[in-house]
Structure 1
Amino acid sequence: MTVCLLLLSLLALTAAVPAPRALTRAAWPEREPVVALWVWQCLVATVLLCCLTALTLSAAAVFQTVRAHVFAPAPAEVTAAYDLTAAPPWATALTVLLAFGAAWTTAMLARELVEARRRRGLARAQLRERAPDLPAGLPASRGPLLVLEDEYPDAWWMPGSPPQLVVTTGALHRLTDHQLDAVLTHERGHARAHHDWLLHLSTALATGFPRVPLFAHFCDQTRRLVELAADDTASRRCGHLTAALALIELNQHRGVLSCASSDRLLRERVDRLLQPPPRLDRGRRALTTTVAALVPLLPLLITFAPGLTALN
């Protein structure tokens, strides 16, 4: 069991510190933001699984009740292979630390979901106040697209039940039909990929564990990559130039495209649309996706290895 805990700790540290820093410095995520998002999720899943399996093993070694429940269906030779009775002296401290981490993670996720629901409720209430009245005889449902009377050009997707795509009349006046199609396709790309859930997860982990490099980088990169991924969705349907011009038209009045602006992401998105980087070849995309999917299996392999060896 001690060897398993040490291997799980080493794997978690590797996935939490050097791996995210290397991935942040890499150039290929800009070319394949969807694959990069998958890699980030697999890294986070690896660390969480390491902590969960280590908590299970250490708690089984420290507490007889946990051991009886975890190893109840296992043969005697499997239980003996883990040598739970010879727990290291630091097993109790590790169990308490991991249990606190699990409780804190759950609390942060719950808090983020509650706050997101509250923000959506306030936003929907404001939309109901600003939305124009429908003519008599029309159904009360406004459908997935809502047009607001506002000179400020903007468009956004509001998740929830039902989801709502909102665009202002300022955007309708400023954008051509093709540019408007690109903007709406961008927002629908966020909705189809459920980027809101990914943003909630990354925000909760970064808020709860701000000193963990993996979670901090995960939050920053998720906010960046979801926009690049939605830009790719829009550019594949409407063209790179049309998507870039739509992005410029919606944001040039804010001054964010000037050299003095601090909004680096927006300038990066425009430059990327005007000069799209070449995509990775299909084989490399498949290899990266497969390897990333296999990494979260390592904590399970380490955990079950003694028991499987005993059975053989």
Structure 2
Amino acid sequence: MSNKKEDLFGLNNDSEEEDVSLDEEEQEDSRFSKSRLQKQSLSDEDSEADSDAEESEAEDTDVDMEEKTAADDNDDESEDDDNELDAEGYDAPKDLSAFGATTKKRVRTAKKVKSLTPEELEKFEKARKKTGVCYLSRIPLFMKPSRVRSLLEKHGEIGRIYLVPEDGKVTARRKKYTKNRRTNFTEGWVEFKDKAIAKALAEHLNMKEIGGKRKSQYYHDMWNIKYLPKFKWNHLTEHMAHEKQARQQRLRNEIAQSNRENKTYIQNVERAKMLQNMEQKKRKREGEPTTPVKQKIQRTFEQRGNVNREVDPKKSGKNAMDKMDSNLKGVLGSIFSKK
């Protein structure tokens, strides 16, 4: 009876279990024939070529994905910058050349900065001297810089606006208890192209209602605005930079102080361990137990003598008159006698 046996390589060979000899098996075995080896070599070459093509395609796709991710990262960075500026209370138009300032773009590659010509420098100084800055001592609740710009730009051309956010502790407390995550500002500065317009506007709008639409939440709020003479925007930036450096210096001093305290504490702990080890070694030499045995404290109190609460009539004040002199008795009797 003949059966089809499956060998280790997964090939089916037609052979009889008992009747077929070893020589016949070698003749009929086609696993190592020339035609089969040639077919295998061709198939291996095709598979290698396919694998190379797949690797090249994968590399191309990886390059494309890297380019896309880089472009997405650039877009995300630009959006993050805009959000940070809005959160910090800074707002400015794209073109600030009329205000004596140049717009700075983020450039990754280092480029040479061209020096200004004398004509451009003179124009820049004139534009800067012509500008005026107004101070807002109070900002209505949750009013953003864009809203301030929309309210003031109808009176004159506005350059940069900077509003100071409220204290972080106050913001955290408000977010915790009221669940209000809006940004609130306390004070601000507004730059105008013409200082004469800025001065007139400050005198006109100060202590007047903001107005606008009656449905607006800022309709009944008051303007608290003041013109700052001989004050330019670079003075504000210098003051902010100075405050930032002072804050960083205070932070560095606090960190250094905490490091010193931590170092002294560690030194004291190490010194205490060293003294404890010395004491244990001394006890070992003397034959005493290394760990001190805790003894119960027994307090002794002196016992008072027995006190007799009963009053002796002889010692009491009832018989005191008998022991007194007769003359003294007469005097006391005349004083306390009933008349």
**TM-score over 0.5 (shorter chain):** no
Instruction: From the two aligned structures, give the one with the greater strand fraction.
Output: 2
Q: Larger Rg: 1 or 2?
A: 2
Q: Which has the higher contact order (CA 8 A, sep 6+)?
A: 1
Q: TM-score, normalised by structure 1?
A: 0.23
Instruction: From the two aligned structures, give the one with the greater helix fraction.
Output: 1
Q: TM-score, normalised by structure 2?
A: 0.21
